[in-house]
Each structure stands twice: as structure tokens, then as C-alpha cells.
């Protein structure tokens, strides 16, 4: 089953993430991705993560297709004008890439070449609309027809919050109107916040959207605190930081917390799955997925 079919069938999905290497050797990418084959339902390929150059994301995602690993192509607005973006969307479809996560992209000032010119010819909503029209109409914004077929599942980013009184999900609603069918979120390790957030979305009739919640196998209390302070939108409860501080084996405790969080999220109506991101801890992800699949009923094997 494709990721889209699993989401339609209400299977709880697990996605993971690979940052393409800074390498001319495709084998380096495949070595990073193969441990996730048969475990993750799909694997994100980041696009110039951290505003730094890597092996191109469309090419990297195409390599995963060839290896029988379903990719989610992260596609940012930062580096290309609308002509290049449209060409890469066509290239993605021609390469058998189905899943797109449309993102704004980090500002170049965050990277290792801060003098690089940001493009941002389109914003994320406009790029979603462009991809949707390519899929549904086979048509470029100019009206020019594109032959063949694109089978895109379109996604965007989101950040769960503990919604204050009067808060409305206007940004998320705009992405859905533009074509988003799923979202992958920033780190949110607080399941109570997720429940309250989804309840508010439900109040605003946001229901036909697959919510994939971002989580992490924490490495240490120090790294958990860094994520909370430095990564905008990250939610990690203090009780989890305290558990990491008290742990005799922080790496094992981080994996255990991650599996527990997956289990809890799988019981929340409206959560379609989890997206595991593991900064400097990629080796933990396959073990977390195996343990989760062994213990969570909604997860297939």
C-alpha cells in the first residue's frame, strides 16, 4: 500500500527522515535510507536542510523510489523561482515521486552561506496550489498543458499549540484550501497538547486532513532543552526532560519515551501517525519503529 492508501484506510503511519549527504556518491544516501526500508511507511527527503547545500532532493527522492523506499519529497520555496519549481514538480512526477511536503524553507542567514539570495518567488500556499493544478488539471499556471500524469499527495507543515481562547487555525485552513491533504508537524511530545489542539481544529470543522505528529527519540536532557529553546514550535514537557536527567542510560530512555509517545498518540482520534525526526541520533529510529510496531495495535507490520 502507498502512504496515501494507508492514510485513507486510517492506518496509523510512521514516517522518518533522511538528510541527503554532501556527496557525489549515491551509495552514501542509500546507506542512510536502507535501515528504514520495510519499517517506515515513507521517508522524508529534506530539501537544503539548514539552508545548506546537499545532494539535490528530487534526485535523492528518485533514488529512493528505485530502491523500493517510498519517499516524501520536501519541497521548499527558498531556492528556486516559479519556473524552476514547476520544472522540478514535473521531474518529481516523472520520477515516480508521489508525496510532496511543501515548505517555505529556512532563510539563508541560518546556513553556512548567509550571503546567498533567497528567492521565495512563491509562498507555500501558492506552491501547493501549483502542485494541485498540475495534478488535477495537468496544467501550468500559464495555461500550458503537461502530458502524462502526476499522482501527488500534497502536504504542508504545522505546529501544534495549546490553543488560547479565541485562537483560530487560519493558516492551516489556508493550506487545506490550497490543496494540503496531510501535515507533518514540529516536535510535539505532549499528548495532552495534541488532544486539545485537535479538539480546537474539530471545532473549526478541520477534519479531512491527516495529522502526522513530529516526535523524537531524545538523546539527552541537554539536547531536549536545546530543542525546546532553539527549535521554534517544539513542545517537550518538563517531566520528560526530568526523566532524561535521571536516566542511567539516556539513549535507552529516549527510545522508551518515543515508543510510549507513539502508543499514546495512536489512541488519540484524529492523529494519523507520527513523523520521527532524530537530530544526531539516526541510529535510534529503526529500533523505535520496531518496538512501536510490536506494541501498538493500529500499526501494521
Domain annotation covers residue 299: no
Task: Sort 196 into a burial class: Cβ within 10 Å, 0-12 / 13-18 / 19+.
Answer: middle
Domain annotation covers residue 169: yes
Domain annotation covers residue 16: yes
Across 58-91, b (16+ Cβ under 10 Å) vs e yields bebbbbbbeeebbbbbbbbbbbbebeebbebbbe
Amino acid 298: pLDDT: 66
Domain annotation covers residue 301: no
Domain annotation covers residue 132: yes
Domain annotation covers residue 163: yes
Domain annotation covers residue 300: no
Following DSSP, what letter does each residue of 72-140 receive, concatenated? Answer: EEEEESSS--HHHHHHHHHHHHHTT--EEEEE----GGGSS-TTSPP--SS-HHHHHHHHHHHHHH-B-
- This prediction has a pTM of 0.96
Q: What is the pLDDT of residues 265-286, one digit of tens each?
A: 999 999 999 999 998 899 999 9
**How many domains are there within the chain?**
1
Q: Domain containing 67: what range?
A: 3-293
Q: What is the CATH number of the domain that holds 190?
A: 3.20.20.220
- Residue 290 CA to residue 216 CA, distance in Å, equals 15
How far is the CA of 2 from the CAs of 43, 96, 135, in angstroms?
A: 12, 12, 17
Beta carbons of 156 and 171 less than 8 angstroms apart: no
- Residue 288 CA to residue 257 CA, distance in Å, equals 10
Amino acid 300: pLDDT: 54
Q: What is the pLDDT of residues 240-261, one digit of tens each?
A: 999 999 999 999 999 999 999 9
CB atoms within 10 A of CB 6: 19
Domain annotation covers residue 117: yes
Low-confidence ranges of the chain (pLDDT < 50): none
Amino acid at each position: 500500500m502507498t502512504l496515501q492508501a494507508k492514510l485513507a484506510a486510517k492506518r496509523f503511519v510512521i514516517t522518518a527522515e533522511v538528510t541527503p549527504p554532501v556527496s557525489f556518491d549515491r551509495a552514501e544516501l542509500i546507506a542512510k535510507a536502507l535501515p528504514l526500508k520495510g519499517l517506515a511507511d515513507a521517508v522524508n527527503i529534506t530539501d537544503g536542510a539548514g539552508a545548506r547545500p546537499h545532494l539535490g532532493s528530487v534526485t535523492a527522492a528518485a533514488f529512493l523510489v528505485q530502491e523500493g523506499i517510498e519517499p516524501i519529497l520536501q519541497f521548499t520555496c527558498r531556492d528556486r523561482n516559479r519556473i524552476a519549481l514547476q520544472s522540478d514538480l514535473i521531474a518529481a512526477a516523472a520520477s515516480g515521486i508521489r508525496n510532496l511536503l511543501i515548505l517555505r524553507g529556512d532563510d539563508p542567514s541560518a546556513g553556512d552561506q548567509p550571503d546567498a539570495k533567497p528567492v521565495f518567488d512563491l509562498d507555500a500556499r501558492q506552491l501547493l496550489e501549483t502542485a494541485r493544478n498540475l495534478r488535477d488539471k495537468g496544467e501550468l499556471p500559464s495555461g500550458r498543458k503537461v502530458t502524462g500524469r502526476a499522482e501527488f499527495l500534497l502536504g504542508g507543515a504545522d505546529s501544534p499549540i495549546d490553543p488560547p481562547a479565541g485562537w483560530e487555525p487560519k493558516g492551516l485552513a489556508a493550506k487545506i484550501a490550497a490543496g494540503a491533504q496531510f501535515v507533518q508537524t514540529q516536535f510535539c511530545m505532549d499528548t495532552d497538547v495534541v488532544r486539545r489542539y485537535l479538539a480546537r481544529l474539530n471545532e473549526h470543522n478541520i477534519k479531512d486532513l491527516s495529522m502526522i505528529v513530529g516526535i523524537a527519540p531524545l538523546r539527552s536532557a541537554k539536547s531536549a532543552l536545546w530543542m525546546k529553546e532553539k527549535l521554534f514550535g517544539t513542545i517537550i514537557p518538563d517531566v520528560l526532560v526530568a526523566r532524561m536527567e535521571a536516566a542511567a542510560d539516556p539513549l535507552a530512555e529516549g527510545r522508551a519515551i518515543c515508543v510510549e509517545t507513539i502508543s499514546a498518540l495512536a489512541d488519540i482520534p484524529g492523529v494519523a501517525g507520527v513523523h520521527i525526526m532524530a537530530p544526531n541520533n539516526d541510529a535510534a529510529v529503526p529500533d523505535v519503529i520496531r518496538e512501536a510496531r510490536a506494541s501498538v495495535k493500529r500499526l501494521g507490520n
